[in-house]
Chain A
Amino acid sequence: MTRKDRWLLWIFLAPSLGLIGLFLYWPMVGTVIESFYATSFISPNPEFVGFDGYREVFSDRDFDDVFWNSIAWTLGVVVFQNMLGFLAAMLLNQGLPFRGVTRALVLMPFVLPGVVTAILWRFMYDPQLGLVNSLMIRTGLASETSAWLANPDTAMAAVIFVAVWKGFPFSMLIYLAALQTVDRSQLEAATLDGAGPLRRLWDVTLPAIRHVILVNVVLTLILTFNYFDIVWVMTRGGPQQATHIFPTKIYETGFGQFRFGEAATYGVVSILVLAVLVALYVIVQAGANRRGRRT
């Protein structure tokens, strides 16, 4: 490539790089800058406070709540969504009757919009009218109704359950595709070698799709950490902050209380966590690609 070609290359690339920078990275840079200012609704002129904003946020109990809630929320959803998705994929990978119809039905929660899902489940959890309480009482699992979303001890578990319900078909789809690539003759060889179903799963199936599992887990970590609509519509981060996670806290602080500087500080922490997760994803994906090239 000559020097002229190189210039030409950059000239052609410049418009798209400019647009990417403007729409993708400038908001992030803007957030970082914003986090060094204190802004509020009653005094709209931003005041530079440097790292004071961070010190304030980190020493606040709210931050601890949001941080630990985010971890519980993310891990809870990722673990159960992947486990349930894998189990469903295993089941659908068997020669079940009406497999096509079953597959379509299982996918239903995934295609519902998040807000619709949240409203639907708010009704389901309703202490007076909800199906959940009614079912639990009828089956003898509970003797009286519970306000699942109003009780700080149960609210997080309740929203995690809904996110898993909505998200597991996504994991299932990916696992199902992966399971269909497992060499059938390897499974048959293991059967003849004396391995039972669990042993075959452990010794043949899981090693064959372990990169897909890793990529799927990291991908769902990123998606779940960023989740907003279900939690916001169901609980608005409550009760008593019990379900406040980074996205809901940022939204509430910024657009509910107009404390943009503080919201931006939460945003920067959130970006840092996501950067770590994205780096993890890139590493895992690169490993999977290397494996793909070898086989």
Chain B
Amino acid sequence: MMAAVELRDLHKTFGAYTALERLNLEIEDGEFLVLLGPSGCGKSTTMRLIAGLEEPSSGDILIGGKRVNDTPPRDRDLAMVFQNYALYPHMTVAENIGYPLKVARVPRTARADRVRAAAAKVEMAHLLDRRPGELSGGQRQRVALARAIVRTPRLFLMDEPLSNLDAKLRTVMRAELRHLQKELATTTIYVTHDQVEAMTLADRIVILNDARIQQIGTPKEVYERPANTFVAGFIGGPPMTLIPGTVTADRFTHETGALDLPGQPDGPAIIGARPEDIRVTAPGAGDLDGTVFSSELLGDATLLTVRVGPALVAVKVGPDDGRDMDAPVGLSLDRAKLHVFDGQTGQRRD
């Protein structure tokens, strides 16, 4: 069943507060789309509008080419996984998973078969008689997933489903989720504020801020060519270093120095460099000079934080290249991977 989703001029206000500003978005059939942004950016509102839990102030929602604005949630044929799992505490695991089928009046034996199959998919078949209160966070998450997949909806909505899990379990569940989604090939819209989750899970990421879309693209695109300084600072951990300054006659001047920047128009500009695109040099031999603020071994790399003037610059170096605190260093920026943004609008220049 085709489940392409289209949002046309979707707008939502709560009183005087605008939660979503004329959003336009097309989600392909079978795609794993992640809505990413900080708290209050409008990502959960978008999902709740698609689910039918909120009504749009204006604009259209189309699922499978059909306008569903006036279709009640239960007739939209979608399943949602909630941040707190929203399991029914008085029902067993089997009853929780089978609830959508019970409501749909699926006969008891067929229901039991499908519950077992869904539970097996998320490796919960051995705990069907337990109640949610007797399960760990990860197990509850699996039950919530099984409840979502049991009636094979045409669209999955997931609202920060991994945020209540510890870091290790989150990594495991992330991989399982990705695998499950590809196996089922069901269109999935996933909301998160965690950029690592977005990068690892998504076919495409939609980055939202202040109720507006900032950029739509594959994880590679948004990482390598962020559309503005917000995306540049939001995607990547540690984030990209952004240095404000002024371009005059192909030369970029900033608070603590200057570097050649050919081909850029004169005026205020912001340059950005990812931690892995900055090299440590001898003091005075690079584009910037500073002192080591901290040196953290990550295992396969060392993260140096260098104080340059008032700013802190993150630099990724080899695991054996850590430095002492307060050691003077020079930093050289990889010109080919330098990002240049307009100093006033913050939009990407090239």
**Contacts from A to B (Cβ < 8 Å):** 183, 185-186, 188-196, 199, 203-204, 207-208, 294-295
Contact = CB atoms under 8 A, between A and B. Distances in A.
B82 A188 contact: yes
Given A203-B88, A203-B99, 18 more contacts: A183-B86, A186-B88, A188-B53, A188-B82, A189-B80, A189-B88, A190-B103, A192-B73, A192-B74, A193-B99, A193-B103, A194-B74, A194-B103, A195-B103, A199-B103, A204-B88, A208-B89, A295-B89
A195 B105 CA distance: 11
Chain A to chain B: the 9 pairs with minimum beta-carbon distance, closest first: A185-B86, A189-B86, A193-B100, A194-B103, A194-B74, A207-B90, A185-B82, A186-B86, A192-B80
B53 A190 contact: no
Contacts of B84: 183, 185
Contacts of A207: 88-90
B51 A192 contact: yes
Given A183-B84, A207-B88, A192 B99 contact: no
B20 to A, nearest CB: 18
Interface string B54-85: 00000000000000000001100011101110
Interface of B: 51-53, 73-74, 78-80, 82-84, 86-90, 99-100, 103-104, 133, 147
12 contacts: A186-B87, A188-B82, A188-B86, A189-B86, A190-B88, A190-B99, A192-B53, A192-B78, A193-B103, A194-B100, A194-B103, A208-B90
Nearest to B95: A203
Contacts of B52: 192
B153 to A, nearest CB: 9
A97 to B, nearest CB: 14
**Among A185, A190, A195, A208: residue with most chain B CB under 10 A:** A185
Contacts of A186: 86-88
Contacts of A294: 133
Contact of A193 (B53, B83, B89, B147): B147
Contacts of B103: 190, 193-195, 199
Contact of A191 (B73, B90, B133): B73
B211 to A, nearest CB: 22
B90 A194 contact: no
Nearest to B76: A192
A193 B105 CA distance: 12
Contacts of A191: 53, 73-74
Contacts of A204: 88
B244 to A, nearest CB: 42
